[in-house]
Amino acid sequence: MHADLSRILSVVEEGSATGIAAAINRLIGAGELSIGTRLPTVRALAQALGVSPTTVNEAWRSLARVGAIETKGRNGSFVTARTHSAEPTRFWRLAGDTGRFARDLSAGVPDQALLPPIGPALARIDGQPPLSGYLDAPVLPELDRLVRKAWASVCDPETLTIVNGSLDGIDRLLGQLLRLGDRVIVENPTFPPFLDLLDTVGASALPVPVDDEGILPDALAGQLRRDPAVLLMQPRAQNPTGVSLTQRRADQLVDKLRAHPDVVIIEADHSGDVALAEAVSFAGALPDRVVRVQSFSKSHGPDLRLAALGGPAAIVEPLIGRRHLGAAWSSRLLQEVLVGLLTDPGCVAAVATARTVYGQRRSALKDALTSRGIRSTGWDGINLWIDVAREREALVTLAAQGIGAAPGSPFLVEPSGGDHLRITTATLPVSEAAAVADALAEAARPYPPYSRV
């Protein structure tokens, strides 16, 4: 069976490799290109689209990486059953150099010294283990009550569960909600593993820019017209920009979302209790379409590997059911520890202290950069998004001074007004902000053009 060239041409919205691959993905996901269908030759499709064969080759390679097609050289390229997932290329670009700098500002992790003491929480389970049967409820009733109480101002989820961290929950949601070729709206810039997850399911990202109040309404409206399946966004301390969604902006965005009732909204609240901003959610206005995922990693400890996931039963119950065929539940022992961390007065005070200290550290570096003429974004969380003239040169300059930073390019769906770095301020003492700002200012500025003597 041969693919209909005219049908492919009719769905290609842009002549880039990404646009071509996304169009083929959509046709495969919709069943219009079945397994075994032979695709047009690279030369034929390139000629029909008015692009170079190199562009089509790149699109074919990206489709092969997610297992959507198989290329057989001169024998052609064929639609195939997906047998493997894409590699998390953006994630590894962030993680590759951590740990080798005297001052590592690249990792995006909390300060271990500011995590609440775990001793009082462990004492709760000493000699009194929680439920341990295979058929027991997957969520401890007390933890369910605590999460619902904390969320009461923004949502009342029909169904709530606990997953092994926010990325685990988001991975499960995307796998359940998306088909090959679907589109997902994401902030630009966004958290790189989100883009890797979309690659693994063969979905394409539709970028929307953010300002100091969150996603821009007109940009969201434009991408909603492209028939997305999901909006995946970070309402607080957005990674990497440090922007938190305001209620005013949320109300504006709800007006745009109401006109597209099939779009599911996933709210990834990764900073949780260490974010300065109050929680803002679309769930109150759109309760049947919003799934909220709140991580406890930055606030209570990454090794807990726990996040709360709540939303409409029609979405969350299938996730719980499918999970019973694998992990089944998140450790109730760890859930009991989390209950202790959420209720012990000393632990609650420690989290409040961490929230304050993170704000002071971030503000100290941001103010120091501003005084040196370096623009940065970030008023919440543990990160700053810094403008630099050239990403690579800036990273090399910082590395020479023993400072690690995260490159900005893995966070981007498409170019966004110049180069950037993400700087994590979680472990940076206020007393060192000026010295680090000096190094960042030197790295951020353009190098003079090279000339021969």
The total number of structural domains that make up the chain: 3
| Residues 155, 51 within the same domain | no
What is the β-pairing status of strands 204-211 and 183-188? parallel
pLDDT at 14: 86
One domain, residues 261 and 330: yes
Dihedral sign for Cα 352, 250, 158, 178, please. Answer: negative
| Cis amide prior to 189 (ω within 30 degrees) | yes
Nearest CA among 291, 31, 10, 64 for reference residue 160: 291
Among 314, 341, 368, residue at a domain's last position = 341
The two three-digit tokens of residue 33, written as one number: 């290109």
DSSP reduced 3-state for 214: strand
Which domain range does residue 100 map to?
A: 89-113+347-444
Are 151 and 300 part of one and the same domain?
A: yes
pLDDT, residue 179, reads 85
Which of 283, 309, 341 represents a domain boundary (last residue)?
341
In a domain, 122, yes or no: no
125 located within any domain: no
Residue 192 shares a structural domain with residue 309: yes
How far is the C-alpha of 111 from the C-alpha of 98, rounded, in Å?
15
Residue 451 lies in a domain: no
**Domain presence at residue 32:** yes
Spatial separation of the C-alpha atoms in residues 423 and 325, rounded to whole Å: 40
Q: Which two tokens stand for residue 216?
A: 């821009």
Under a CB-based contact definition with an 8 Å cutoff, are residues 213 and 244 in contact? no
Query: Any idea what the CATH number is for the domain that residue 390 is in?
Result: 3.90.1150.10
CA distance 104 to 428: 9
Whether 252 and 218 map to the same domain: the answer is yes
Judgement on whether residues 176 and 249 belong to the same structural domain of the protein: yes
DSSP state of 191: -
* Amino acid sitting at position 387: D
Among 341, 358, 391, the domain boundary falls at 341
- Spatial CA neighbour of 434 closest among 361, 380, 375, 357: 361
Domain assignment present for 120: no
The answer to whether residue 449 sits within a structural domain is no
What DSSP element (H or E) covers 421?
Answer: strand 419-424
Q: Is 307 helix (H, G, I), strand (E, B) or coil?
A: strand
Calpha distance 271→297 (Å, rounded): 8
- Does 64 share its domain with 162? no
The amino acid that residue 122 corresponds to is L
The count of residues in the chain is 453
Do 315 and 429 fall into the same domain? no
3-state SS class at 292: strand
Statement to judge: residues 293 and 337 lie in one domain: yes
In this structure, is residue 119 part of a structural domain?
Answer: no
Strand partners, 210: 215
Backbone dihedral region of 7: left (phi > 0), alpha (psi from -120 to 50 degrees) or beta? alpha
100-104 own/partner pairs: CB under 8 Å, 24+ apart? 100/404, 101/399, 101/402, 101/403, 101/404, 102/402, 102/403, 103/402, 103/403, 103/404, 103/428, 103/432, 103/436, 104/403, 104/404, 104/427
Residue 453 lies in a domain: no
- Quick one: 434 and 304 in the same domain? no
Residues 253 and 279 both lie in one domain: yes
CATH of residue 313's domain is 3.40.640.10
Q: How many CA atoms lie within 13 A of 46 on its CB side?
A: 14
CATH of the domain at 29: 1.10.10.10
Q: Give the pLDDT of residue 120.
A: 85
Say whether both 374 and 330 belong to one domain: no
Task: Look up residue 73 and give its DSSP letter.
Answer: G
Spatial CA neighbour of 103 closest among 378, 345, 428: 428
pLDDT at residue 451 in the model? 45
- Ranges of residues in the chain with a pLDDT under 70 are 81-88, 91-99, 127-132, 448-453
Q: Which two tokens stand for residue 384?
A: 């700053």
Provide the strand spans (E) within 138-182: 159-163
